[in-house]
Amino acid sequence: MAQHHSFGAAADADGTAARPLPRAGAPAGDDLSAALRQVLTLTQLARAELAERLGMPLTNVEAVEHVLIARNAGAPIGPVELSRRLGVTSAAGTQSVNRLVAEGHLTRGPHPDDRRRQILDVTTSGFEHVMGELAPLLGLVLGAADGLTDEERAGAKRYLELVAAAYRRYLEPQARGEEEAGPGAHRTGPGSERKASPAARQAPPTAGPQPVPALTRRSKRVLRSPSGPPVTPSS
């Protein structure tokens, strides 16, 4: 049965793009956009499945990923910056951090240059717990490029860079509006617990199409529910 997803097209439960839904003014798609929609759909499903296998809320899985990426980049982050990267309020971010610290996945300590600030790190057990499930998927994604010529790799890389730039252009107006409104401003109404921010433009790079594990009933419901997890380019 076809499911609705974020691009306004129909997709089967396995992520296969189906007939686009009619929408006034929507640009016509092509083979590249159809393949991208399939990847984004499967990414949603795979991330929901990953969270279920780990026994963690998806937001907490994404939090561990952000902290790990920041640490590996040599720029550790604290709870405030983590909330921005997750696109949630400070209160929601703090709740996730408190839970992850209590469960032994994260540590929280003073910033080496400013003791008024805190930095987060992933514990050895937290790293092993998340990577134990994530590493096999990453291996499948990396293997998807095996056999591509240098010219094919360059073309795929260029296309993905242009898609990333398109997302940044889409996010910039709202991000600028929040900057002008000040740090205390936030949206109200449905979905206000998640907010866009300049950090959304710093989403981790995503890889190309990949196989995903067998889907559970919960992960199959992701595309049916408007409140399902957003696409992470973290995850």
- Six-digit token pair at 29? 């798609």
**163: closest CA among 12, 10, 39?**
39
Residue ranges per structural domain of the chain: 3-20+29-220
Q: Note the pLDDT of residue 181.
A: 57
Q: Note the pLDDT of residue 26.
A: 62
Q: Note the pLDDT of residue 12.
A: 53
For the chain, residues with pLDDT lower than 70 are 1-28, 174-235
Distance from C-alpha of 94 to C-alpha of 100, rounded to nearest angstrom: 10
Q: Note the pLDDT of residue 113.
A: 76
Q: DSSP labels for 66-133?
A: HHHHHHHTT----HHHHHHHHTB-HHHHHHHHHHHHHTTSEEEEE-SS-TTSEEEEE-HHHHHHHHHH
- Give the chain's radius of gyration (CA, Å): 19
Q: Note the pLDDT of residue 223.
A: 38
Q: Note the pLDDT of residue 114.
A: 73
Q: Note the pLDDT of residue 91.
A: 92
Q: Note the pLDDT of residue 152.
A: 97
> Which CATH number describes the domain made up of 3-20+29-220?
1.10.10.10
In DSSP terms, which residues pair with 107 in a beta bridge? 121
SS3 of residue 191 by DSSP: coil
Distance in angstroms between the alpha carbons of the first and the last residue of the chain: 27
**85: closest CA among 64, 114, 116?**
64
